[in-house]
Amino acid sequence: MADVTPPLPQSAGYGVIVGLGAVFALGMIWVTHLMKKAFDEDNKATETFMVANRSVGTGLTAAAVISSWLYSTALLGATLLTYKYGLALGVWWGASASIVICLLSYISIEAKRKSPNAHTLLELVKTRYGTTAHILWVVLCLLNNTLVFSAMLLGAATAVASLTGMSVIASTYLLPIKLGVAIYTYFGGLRATFLTDYVHTFIVMIILVWLTIKIIVVKEIGSIGALYDAVIAADKINPVEGNYKGSHLTMRSDESLFFGILHVISNIGAVIMDTGFWQKGFSADVAAAVPGYVLGGVASFSVPWAVGTIGGLAAIALEQTPAFPIYPRTMTAEEISSGLVLPYVVRAVSGKAGAAALLVTIFMACTSIASAQMIATSSIISFDIYGTYINKTPNDKQLIRWSHIGVVTTLIFISTLATAFHLGGVDMSWLLYVIGNMINPGVFPTLFTLLWRGQTRLAAIISPIVGMICGISVWLSTAWYYYGEVSIASTGATKPNLFGCLVAFFVPLPVTLLISLAQPQSFDWSHFNQIKSIKTEHGRAAQLGTDQAEWFTPERIQYMKRMSRWAAFWAIFTIVGQALLWPLAMYGAKMVFSKPISNASWIIANMEEKNKFFTAWIVFAYIFLWFTLIVGNFYPLFDGGFKSIWIVIKGKRGVNESNQPVTGSPGSESSTEEQRVQSKVHLGTSEP
């Protein structure tokens, strides 16, 4: 990459990472202060810092979900893999994001039904299985958050370096440790994370819509039809091995199928074992959890699909033109696997302006995920390590202090680990493939912790350990079998990781079933009620117990059961539609996409290509991207955001004038279920 001159100076990189970060920090601290005045939101209280008083609304929840999947790895990875394997890859990547979020909507409502006062997944594990299982899950969840965060950070740092000439090592430290993320997460907690998720999503979606349109209309391409012609011409010179007729424009792609299965399974593991996603579920209002997750999950599909498809195919079309930054040579394997396909495309179509826009996009995507990961990891350090093993009777102030310690510790450790990966020759693509081997073993035991009474303590402990041992063994042995060595290159290949992930994911299922059924037990869900809200110095969050019956009113129980059924239906519908009916059916069709044209004789001569819908495919991807823009940018404003902003501007106090908190947990509920369900949940708080 030494022969490529960055389009932006290093000062631009430092200016965005440090300067823009500081602006965001000051802005979020100011907003937190205003919300405290208007709605009595106390970010120094654990219930606010960790779970945002369990009052986040549908629109903001959906925006946060979209933001959670705006990984820099999603933007960069979907583009580079589409460049390598074709447009089928974007569909599989989008499905891997959408499916798991819709599944999490069901898990979220079940968690709120069975343990409304929980703050983290690990509290559930500790309550049900005891200390040994709890320590095991602490390790599994920290491993998951560490690898996911490192992959995102490494890809973002490499892209920033290519755009500005900054050192990759400097980027790995400054992107997450920079003043902005550290300060607004340190002071604002999960509420600040939700609000910055929204701001980040708002900016990123506008930039992505602009970039995808700019790619098509640039003079070197000019139209969707011209993009099609350029890709067809390139495929004649460099056909894709394993694709039908060697084409990028087919769903019959072996590598895309393998990666799709691998990524769907890995993403399920990444989300189920990520305490941050559970915290967002705990923080959502009862009436907002399922709709917010479902809406955000559906909208999340479009970003890797649209950006990956358009960006990846544009790279194929532009690589042999003088507009491409590295012309006349083609991209090296190192540049591709490092995620530089999208930065090169953006530079080709929009020069410095596009490079600056992509720099801001990567910054936004990285900081949003960094903030969520810091809150998730700090919650483990404060609740599940300090509050469980160091000080078993912590007060609110002590937990907040240790949450802050967790934020700082996470920043330093992850940046150092990402630097070590970079210096050791590990890139974003390798981590993207490998993660599932290590995080998937905990999926079924975790799901059964919440959904099946019969899983025993012994089964919960043994099954993930067996799964991890088997998964890693298959991964490494398969790499040696296919490539004759165990190296970074061989262990990062598709088949070893596919087989390893499948084994790590599915082996714990029969293990936990056999052990549990050998000595059947039935867990009493009411034991989860031992988990209590944290009482502040002012007594704002009452302890669980006397208000339990009052909180679980018949209306609320019925509503939550209805939401649970609806979430289960939507999760099944999404899995069947996006993982089976759409990509697998088209995989079996054996066709190359074609574009609509008016030359009748050409059509007659090519009747075997009946599906002339490449143009429709791209247009629909644009429509879906605009849908995501509307859901992530504008729906939160109409879902009470404008009203809440107006209240803040006027300086009017909300419902908490009587010192009654707005929460969705027992012991702090001040209204009836009918009022709670019918009331709209707004931008960060309930309707006053």
Range scoring the smallest mean pLDDT among 173-187, 401-415, 436-450, 656-670 = 656-670
Contact 463, 506 (CB under 8 A): no
- Read out DSSP for 425-489? T--HHHHHHHHHHHHGGGHHHHHHHHH-TT--HHHHHHHHHHHHHHHHHHHHHHHHHHHSS-SHH
Beta strand segments in 241-337, E: none
- Read out DSSP for 655-673? GGGGS----SSTTS--S-H
> From CA 167, how far away is CA 27, in angstroms rounded?
28
Contact 248, 594 (CB under 8 A): no
Across the chain, mean pLDDT equals 80
Contacts of 654 (CB under 8 A, 6+ apart): 38, 39, 40, 647, 662, 685, 688
| Residue 566: pLDDT band with limits 50, 70, 90 | confident
Give me the residues paired with residue 56 across strands.
284
pTM score, two decimals?
A: 0.81
Mean pLDDT of 374-390: 84
Please report how the helices 341-379 and 179-217 are oriented relative to each other, as an axis angle in degrees rounded to 10: 150
Contact 644, 651 (CB under 8 A): no
Rg, Å, the chain Cα set: 25
For residue 636, cis peptide bond before it (omega within 30 degrees of 0): no
In the three-class reduction of DSSP (H, G, I as helix; E, B as strand; rest coil), residue 394 is classed as: coil
Helices (runs of H) and strands (runs of E) counted in the chain: 33, 0
Give the tokens for residue 44.
């120094």
Give me the residues paired with residue 243 across strands.
253
Report the pLDDT value the prediction gives residue 440, as an integer from 0 to 100: 94
Contact 440, 265 (CB under 8 A): yes
31 vs 676 pLDDT, higher one: 31
Range scoring the smallest mean pLDDT among 161-175, 317-331, 590-604 = 590-604
Report the pLDDT value the prediction gives residue 550, as an integer from 0 to 100: 61
Half-sphere exposure of 183 (CA within 13 A, CB side): 16
> From CA 508, how far away is CA 514, in angstroms rounded?
10
Distance from CA of residue 11 to its chain's centroid? 30
User: Which whole-number Å values give the CA distances from 331 to 148, 216, 259, 351, in the listed order?
Assistant: 26, 21, 21, 18
Report the pLDDT value the prediction gives residue 181, as an integer from 0 to 100: 53
> From CA 85, how far away is CA 235, in angstroms rounded?
11
Give me the residues paired with residue 253 across strands.
243
| Residue 552: pLDDT band with limits 50, 70, 90 | low
Statement: residue 470 has pLDDT above 90: yes
Statement: residue 447 has pLDDT above 50: yes
Report the pLDDT value the prediction gives residue 191, as an integer from 0 to 100: 52
- Give the torsion through C-alpha atoms of 316, 319, 323, 327, to 10 deg: 170
Helices (H), 218-274: 224-237, 254-272
Give the tokens for residue 245.
């007729």
> What secondary structure letter does DSSP report for 606?
T
Query: pLDDT digit string (tens) for 232-250?
Result: 999 999 999 989 999 999 9
| Residue 547: pLDDT band with limits 50, 70, 90 | low
> From CA 682, how far away is CA 39, in angstroms rounded?
12
Q: From 357, 333, 307, select the one nearest 12 (Cα to Cα).
A: 357
Half-sphere exposure of 681 (CA within 13 A, CB side): 26
Mean pLDDT of 579-604: 71
Q: From 177, 123, 391, 289, select the one nearest 664 (Cα to Cα).
A: 289
| Residue 543: pLDDT band with limits 50, 70, 90 | very low
Give the tokens for residue 472.
């890693």
Report the pLDDT value the prediction gives residue 35, as an integer from 0 to 100: 64
Q: From 542, 565, 576, select the one nearest 659 (Cα to Cα).
A: 542
Per-residue exposure over 23-40, b if at least 16 CB sit within 10 Å of its own CB, e if not: ebbebbbebbebbbebbb
Give the tokens for residue 612.
């002339």
Report the pLDDT value the prediction gives residue 662, as an integer from 0 to 100: 37
Report the pLDDT value the prediction gives residue 685, as an integer from 0 to 100: 38
Report the pLDDT value the prediction gives residue 328, as an integer from 0 to 100: 87
Statement: residue 300 has pLDDT above 50: yes
> From CA 112, how far away is CA 108, in angstroms rounded?
6
Q: From 41, 379, 44, select the one nearest 195 (Cα to Cα).
A: 41
User: Which whole-number Å values give the CA distances from 489 to 146, 150, 232, 528, in the listed order?
Assistant: 22, 19, 30, 46
| Residue 644: pLDDT band with limits 50, 70, 90 | low
Q: From 614, 658, 655, 647, select the one nearest 235 (Cα to Cα).
A: 614
Report the pLDDT value the prediction gives residue 515, as an integer from 0 to 100: 96
Domains of the chain: 10-425+571-583+616-656 (1.20.1730)
Mean pLDDT of 29-47: 58
3-state helix, strand, coil in the chain (%, to 5): 75, 0, 25
Specify which of 57-66, 197-206, 463-472 reaches the highest per-range mean pLDDT: 463-472
| Residue 562: pLDDT band with limits 50, 70, 90 | confident
- Read out DSSP for 513-530? HHHHHHS-----GGGGGG
Contact 177, 415 (CB under 8 A): yes
Statement: residue 408 has pLDDT above 70: yes
User: Which whole-number Å values give the CA distances from 23 to 16, 20, 598, 684, in the listed order?
Assistant: 10, 5, 53, 21
> From CA 58, how far away is CA 677, in angstroms rounded?
12
Contacts of 554 (CB under 8 A, 6+ apart): none
> From CA 458, how far away is CA 129, in angstroms rounded?
8
Mean pLDDT of 555-562: 81
Specify which of 3-17, 201-215, 267-281, 552-566 reaches the highest per-range mean pLDDT: 201-215
